[in-house]
């Protein structure tokens, strides 16, 4: 099969999810994920993510590039360092990051994820 450009229009059907109950810290965040692309080895993914407000603990095994389209986010590292993001902000969460992810206002972001191969 030849390599083809992948666009985000139209979006595939969304998967719905929410953080596991034991990771939730506040609210009842409901998430939708439109995964537009995954490579054959399932190490690279790109798509659109949306969430209602709430906070949960995170522990990243993957590297994730994010570009916030709407809403407001707060991310707090395990060491207490805090970042706030608004529409138009871009950031990378590296593999190994631990902390909390909080959606302050209903949010939507573009993402690109790279999951390193297991050793």
Name all domains of the chain by residue range, CATH numbers in brackets: 24-114 (2.60.120.10)
Specify the pLDDT at position 1: 43
What is the chain's mean pLDDT, rounded? 96
Q: Is the pLDDT of residue 106 over 60?
A: yes
pLDDT in tens, 13-54: 999 999 999 999 999 999 999 999 999 999 999 999 999 999
Specify the pLDDT at position 2: 60
Specify the pLDDT at position 111: 98
Instruction: Annotate the chain with DSSP letters as a single string.
Output: -------SSSPPPPEEE---TTTEEEE---EEEEEEEE-TTS-EEEEEEEE-SEEEEEE-SSEEEEEEEEEEEEEEETT--EEEE-TT-EEEE-TT-EEEEEEEEEEEEEEEEE-PPP-
Confidence grade of residue 62 (pLDDT, cut at 50, 70, 90):
very high
């Amino acid at each position: 099969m030849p390599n083809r450009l992948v666009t985000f229009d139209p979006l595939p059907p969304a998967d719905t999810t929410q953080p596991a109950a034991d990771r939730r810290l506040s609210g009842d965040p409901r998430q939708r994920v439109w995964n537009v692309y995954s490579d054959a080895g399932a190490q690279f993914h790109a798509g659109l993510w949306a969430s209602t407000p709430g906070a949960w603990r995170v522990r990243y095994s993957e590297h994730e590039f994010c570009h916030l389209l709407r809403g407001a986010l707060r991310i707090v590292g395990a060491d207490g360092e805090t970042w706030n993001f608004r529409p138009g902000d871009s950031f990378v969460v590296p593999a190994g990051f631990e902390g909390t992810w909080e959606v302050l206002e209903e949010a939507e972001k573009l993402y690109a994820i790279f999951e390193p191969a297991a050793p």
